[in-house]
Amino acid sequence: MDRYVVIGNPIAHSQSPFIHQAFAEQTGQVLSYERLLLPLDNFAGGLADFVQQGGFGCNVTVPFKTDALAVADVLSERAMLAEAVNTLKVQEDGRLFADNTDGAGLVMDLKRLGVPLAGQRILLLGAGGAARGVMGPLLAEQPAALIVTNRTHARAEELAKRFAGLGPVSHQPLEGLHGAFDLIINSTSASLQGERLSLPASLCHSNTRVYDMMYGKEDTPFMCWAAEQGVTHRYDGLGMLVGQAAESFYLWRGVRPEMEPVMQALRARLEQER
């Protein structure tokens, strides 16, 4: 049986096995998909073991998206632009093909939710691999401005410079954030760790939308902050998760699954686990 995994640390929370098994059943594909926890200092070794044991491909999540870039033999245009990888495929010649489906998944979900992007002021929290993966697709939607902020401001500045040629992108220090935004996206891993970012209420106006790329059984700390600011349009990253997974599945199997029934089943599953 063709074997796939999702690699991360932590990884116990991941719903990717449920999603990909649902895709497989829906499309008649025979495969297995499991979680794989790797130590923070041995991504390359753990991945090599998986491939040696006959692995066909994997998804890569926090904090290994840049590690995956380093081990890849062939990069897609999306992976090169993002300098981060969330999908690896073992080719017939044994070489690792790397892609980044995060941005496609995010934009797909925002459009599904009816969130406008063109002409909007967007704030992106975080400057790691997750942020790099979505910058290109967000700028392709022609926002009025895309502002990047991060705890380490130099990383936000570097990211803004890297994507400056693709659209109106700039940076602000986290401690000095100012102005109101139409859409605020959290790409940091703070929600995974139960941490709460210190953000001013002035970032929100009466119709601000917020989107946390993370998800959980309960509202994330970021979404709780947004609720306290009176934001009514609050979304977690479940739709993005299913969207990027569908792109990965298509890359591996050559079949594009339907997202909506899987998303509904996953939401129901999380509700039962509350």
Domain-by-domain residue ranges, the chain? 2-100, 103-237
For residue 224, the tally of other CB atoms under 10 A from its CB is 13
Q: How far apart are CA 38 and CA 22, in angstroms?
A: 25
Please give the chain's pLDDT, 274 residues, in tens. 999 999 999 999 899 999 999 999 999 999 999 999 999 999 999 999 999 999 999 999 988 999 999 999 999 999 999 998 999 999 999 999 999 999 999 999 999 999 999 999 999 999 988 898 999 999 999 999 999 999 999 999 999 999 999 999 999 999 999 999 999 999 998 766 677 888 999 999 999 999 999 887 788 899 999 999 999 999 999 999 999 999 999 999 999 999 999 999 999 998 888 6
CATH class of 103-237: alpha beta
Q: How far apart are CA 6 and CA 19, in angstroms?
A: 11
Amino acid at 251: L
Is 8 labelled as part of a ligand binding site? Answer: no
State the catalytic residue, choosing from 65, 89, 111, 161.
65
- Judge whether 65 counts as a catalytic residue: yes
Contact 248, 79 (CB under 8 A): no
Is 77 labelled as part of a ligand binding site? Answer: yes
Domain 2-100 adopts which CATH fold?
A: Rossmann fold (3.40.50)
Contact 233, 217 (CB under 8 A): no
Distance, C-alpha 168 to centroid of its chain: 22
* 123-139 pLDDT tens trace: 999 998 889 899 999 99
Is 151 labelled as part of a ligand binding site? Answer: yes
Same CATH topology for 2-100 and 103-237? yes
pLDDT at residue 67, as a whole number: 95
* 134-154 pLDDT tens trace: 999 999 999 999 999 999 999
pLDDT at residue 247, as a whole number: 94
SS3 173: coil
Is 215 labelled as part of a ligand binding site? Answer: yes
Q: How far apart are CA 119 and CA 232, in angstroms?
A: 21
Is 154 labelled as part of a ligand binding site? Answer: yes
* 194-212 pLDDT tens trace: 778 889 999 999 999 999 9
Amino acid at 254: G
Amino acid at 229: Q
pLDDT at residue 192, as a whole number: 65
Q: Report the percentage of the chain scoring pLDDT > 70.
A: 98
The chain-wide mean pLDDT, for the chain, equals: 94
Q: Where are the alpha helices (DSSP H) in the chain?
A: 16-27, 43-52, 65-71, 77-82, 102-112, 129-140, 153-162, 221-228, 238-253, 260-273
pLDDT at residue 229, as a whole number: 95
pTM: 0.88
Strands 181-186 and 121-125, by their bridges, are: parallel
